[in-house]
Structure 1
Amino acid sequence: MADSRPTKCLVIGAGPVGALAALYAARRGWDVEVYELRGDLRDESTTPLNFTKSINLALSERGINAMRQSGSNALLETVLLETVPMHGRMIHGKASPGLTEESQQYDVHGRYLRAVDRAILNKVLLDEVEALPNVKLHFNQKLTGADVRKRKAWFEEQSTRKPQTADGAQAHLAQDKSRSHEIEVEFDLILGCDGAHSSVRYHMMKSVRMNYEQNYIDTLWCEFTIPPVTPTSHTTPSARHGFATSPNHLHIWPQSDKMFIAIPSTDKSFTCTFFAPAADFTSLEKYPDGFLPFFQANFPGVADLVGHAELRKQFHDNPHLPLISIKCAPHHYGSAGVILGDAAHAMVPFYGQGMNAGLEDVRVLFEHLDAQPSNTQGRAKALEAYTAERVPDAHTINDLALANYWEMHAGVTSPLYLFRKKVEEFLSDKLPVTGFATQYSRVSFSNQRYSEVAKTVDRQGKILLGGMLGTVLLPVIGWAAWWVWRYRQTSHNPTYAAKGFANLTKLWESIGRVFS
């Protein structure tokens, strides 16, 4: 039996995931209130929590499908008009006599990603939400406490006034006095969409036996910008339509343990990200004279695209930020609380699935809610089913994102990796009855559960490896082993043979990595 009054839903966080969650809830007739720590995210003066534009977003099928099913007919069309298609990766390098570009398509069937500006996406979603009569948006509101057992939350308004006094102590006191008192809000359901350092998750853990794992990888990132083309701009051969390089690719300058990427924006600039071990950042900060040679040696052409002086300035001015990976379980408490997006599964950005997975969370959650009666008992069953489905999927894409760092900075130049990709694409295109598809296409261009993607790709790898062993690799390895044996028999240098066998072992390990 349904409750007679509308469900009172609090959404904490007004980013893309929170805004979409509010939209889904409001479309079901719920009484929705959205609380955001920052000011109105549509205001250009609002400072992001990490003090940067953040890594540009790649919108793929999962995020698109979540918006498609939001109940807002014009939403998806409006969002897609503000995106730039990316049909593949452009791998940048250097070879005689100059710089090189190599295009690698994402999908043999022509499917592609869409580059989208986070601020524009957020604005479109918030405008859609604000237009609904049963939604209230509250900005500059800090969640100071939440009790999912009593279904109550407490907020403190963050002052936006700047004290007009020169004395630091008096300014601090004036700021304290300008704060509003704490307010208490009751709810039926609280949705934590408030990011990796989620306050909802923190307070929910007081009532939930939640397993929690947080890791930082030994890689930092810094944002750069390639401006639109001007008459004096440096460009690459693929530059067109005012973009300094191809507007329809995700650009990668790969190295063994670092990379530089660039993603197009609708204003014809590129939002770029430099990823490298923390030691590289420390060295560049300590020895500024080596800054330009470092970039010219590792990322040929980047300094010219950004501008030599501008490259150094942006490195100095923009923050050097860590990459966090978070897993937790469960994602809910009873019928009263649930976490979505980065609050539940923050991941490194190397698969471009962070936002897409978060938007998919919203779709999956409300599919379970729709399948149950709209009362407390039904909601409890829905949240339990959501956790049961989403936890293994969240853990899987978290692991895949970590593994994809290797693909982006090393795999894109690995002959074995590229060979497997071509085989899987050939089978997908010419023999679709086999059901073969690349892992990337399954993750980015389908709505297959992440955990099922991993299982399917693992089976494919074993089949391909078995076939290659029988037709190609065993004869090659046998031939190589015979030559090592022959040399050993005719040579007085047995260490050569040992090295030969060691190299064969490394080859086998590389093959296993590509096909695992």
Structure 2
Amino acid sequence: MAETPGQKTVVVGAGPVGSLAALYAAQRGDDVEVYELRNDLRDPSTTPLNFTRSINLALSERGIHALKNSGSDALLDHVFDATIPMRGRMIHGRTPTGDLYEEAQDYDIHGRTIFAIDRAGLNSRLLDVLEQLPNVKLFFNHKLTGADFRKCKAWFEIQDGSSNKNDRAREVEIDFDFMIGADGAHSAVRHHLMKYARMDYKQEYIDTLWCEFRIEPKADVSPVDPVSKFVISPNHLHIWPGRVFMFIAIPSDDGSFTCTLFLPSAEFAHLETQPDQLLPEFFDRHFPGVTSHIAPKDLISQFTQNPHLPLISINCKPHHFQASAVIVGDAAHAMVPFYGQGMNAGLEDVRVLFSILDKHAIQETNQPDSEGSDNGSTAVASVAKRGLALAEYSALRVPDAFAINDLALQNYIEMRASVLSPSYRLRKYLEERLSVHVPWLGWQTKYARVSFGNERYSEVVEKSEFQGRVLLGGLVGAVGLPVLTGLIVLLRWRLAGARGSNVLGTQLRGLFGWVASIWR
């Protein structure tokens, strides 16, 4: 009996998430084709979709776990060659007396770190691994223009400049068994998928724009001390909080820092009117110390030359259509960048997707009559099983996508304002001490659950909210019970002198009702 050929899996989007999806599919024996709108992403002249020179990313446990499970033994070491561990935030500010200060806030009391990595560097390493696989083909400058997810056909426009100016670009038609859309927030796969799936879709722009800046490495570098090339600590994510806006800096392995200004659109519009005069003064007032690392003239030139871009949040459901297509990463759940989970969530999508596909494939091969079936019936069974797997994936992943989108929006408030709040610091302190001294309780900070574990995002939210209620109840008990005891003693004393008083009974009922409402 002839061997059943591997399925043809088409991945649209060759960014980190799409590249990892292609690698997972290739490791399972699929014939994989990867189509990318842009030129080869390893080419320095290729313009990123967001039109910035570079964006540094934070790689955390979820992304690392997905890379580990890719089936490529060398991939993780290859990726980690270009990472920098960040053990926490470094908060910058000015004291009431006018002195500059830096305050480190570790992410984790157990010493775990996240890792700064350049997006282009990570992408290049993934593409290098893919290019070595015999069952993977890469197609750059291919724009998805149409898809029929019932007939499993797609059409791509070739944008390599080979057509004449007045001619329409050449178009190719391809067949596929399975398509994975990993083509970003403005996904063409999602656009065409919505014509077939009954997809709920929500897109939201927050009232904040962002602009990229760069802190250059030191000129005088010690050959024996690699850290000497950094002008500020390379092992922290640096934050200048401004209550309603902020400036951050993330290290790069060349000694520079990729910096980002997050600012309401009205503030951007104001600064754009007279950047030469307004920008340095604005930075000195709100982000003290930055102009000692970026000269005012460089600050102005970077502000005027680099684009001021929006931040988008996207939720949709389901993430699939029948057995033919699924969307992952930003195509399914684009989020604001404030939790550093956009890429990590996308890489985790790939791991979760293929674990579910593998589970259903194993169930298929364990069927008693599977050995006697012909290729045609086996192919039909495979499609049916894939359809069940994709339905399970959507049902599992949609709540988590919604949860991390909400967490990312909430974390903007934490980064720009809560890091200065005594109540935020108290809760963090209590939760960390509980995780150390009574580990059997399973107590962790929300950030630790998100960044250093693989729990579902939706479960992280539930556990964090529960911990918050317990801490609030404990705090009220610790502070309020002595007061409550004193009030009860006082009321009993008054009761002795005023037995039968309706007023007193009302006071007692009100007091106990108030205590009960706090505990609820």
TM-score, normalized by the shorter chain, greater than 0.5: yes
Q: Tell me how far 1:474 sits from its aligned partner.
A: 6.9
Deviation readout 1:308-367 (Å, 9 max, x if unpaired) = 110000000000000000000000000000000000000000000000000000000000
After superposing on structure 2, the runs of 4+ consecutive aligned residues of structure 1 that deviate more than 6 Å are 474-479
Q: Tell me how far 1:150 sits from its aligned partner.
A: 1.0
1:30-429 alignment runs, 5 A limit:
30-95=30-95, 96-160=97-161, 174-177=164-167, 180-230=169-219, 240-288=227-275, 289-373=277-361, 375-429=382-436
CA contact (8 A) 2:55 2:118 kept: no
Q: What is the distance in 2 between the residues matched to 1:474 and 1:275?
A: 44
Q: Tell me how far 1:54 sits from its aligned partner.
A: 5.0
Name the CA shift for 1:153/1:469 in 2 (closer, same or farther; >3 Å).
same
SS in 2 for 1:175: coil
SS in 1 for 2:229: coil
Structure 1 length-normalised TM: 0.87
CA contact (8 A) 1:210 1:330 kept: yes
Q: What is the distance in 2 between the residues matched to 1:415 and 1:366?
A: 43
Name the CA shift for 1:473/1:81 in 2 (closer, same or farther; >3 Å).
farther
SS in 2 for 1:459: helix
Q: What is the distance in 2 between the residues matched to 1:180 and 1:320?
A: 31
CA contact (8 A) 2:54 2:258 kept: no
Name the CA shift for 1:152/1:283 in 2 (closer, same or farther; >3 Å).
same
Name the CA shift for 1:477/1:8 in 2 (closer, same or farther; >3 Å).
farther
Aligned to 2:472: 465
Deviation readout 1:448-470 (Å, 9 max, x if unpaired) = 00001001111111111100001
Q: Percent identity over the alignment?
A: 60
Q: Tell me how far 1:18 sits from its aligned partner.
A: 0.3
Q: What is the distance in 1 between the residues matched to 2:8 and 2:98?
A: 66
Structure 2 length-normalised TM: 0.86
Name the CA shift for 1:462/1:103 in 2 (closer, same or farther; >3 Å).
same
CA contact (8 A) 2:58 2:116 kept: yes
CA contact (8 A) 1:91 1:101 kept: yes
Name the CA shift for 1:434/1:141 in 2 (closer, same or farther; >3 Å).
same
Q: What is the distance in 2 between the residues matched to 1:320 and 1:476?
A: 54
Aligned partner letter, 1:437: Q
Q: Tell me how far 1:181 sits from its aligned partner.
A: 2.1
Aligned partner letter, 2:37: L
Query: After the TM superposition, which of the residue ranges 30-39 and 89-98 deviates more from structure 2?
Result: 89-98
Aligned partner letter, 1:46: T
Unaligned runs of 5+ in 2: 365-381, 487-517
- The total of aligned residue pairs comes to 463
Name the CA shift for 1:366/1:293 in 2 (closer, same or farther; >3 Å).
same
Name the CA shift for 1:93/1:151 in 2 (closer, same or farther; >3 Å).
same
Unaligned runs of 5+ in 1: 162-172, 233-238, 480-511
Name the CA shift for 1:212/1:97 in 2 (closer, same or farther; >3 Å).
closer
Q: What is the distance in 2 between the residues matched to 1:466 and 1:49?
A: 48
Aligned partner letter, 2:182: C
Aligned partner letter, 1:266: D
What root-mean-square deviation, in Å, do the aligned CA atoms of Structure 1 and Structure 2 show? 2.1
Aligned to 2:499: none
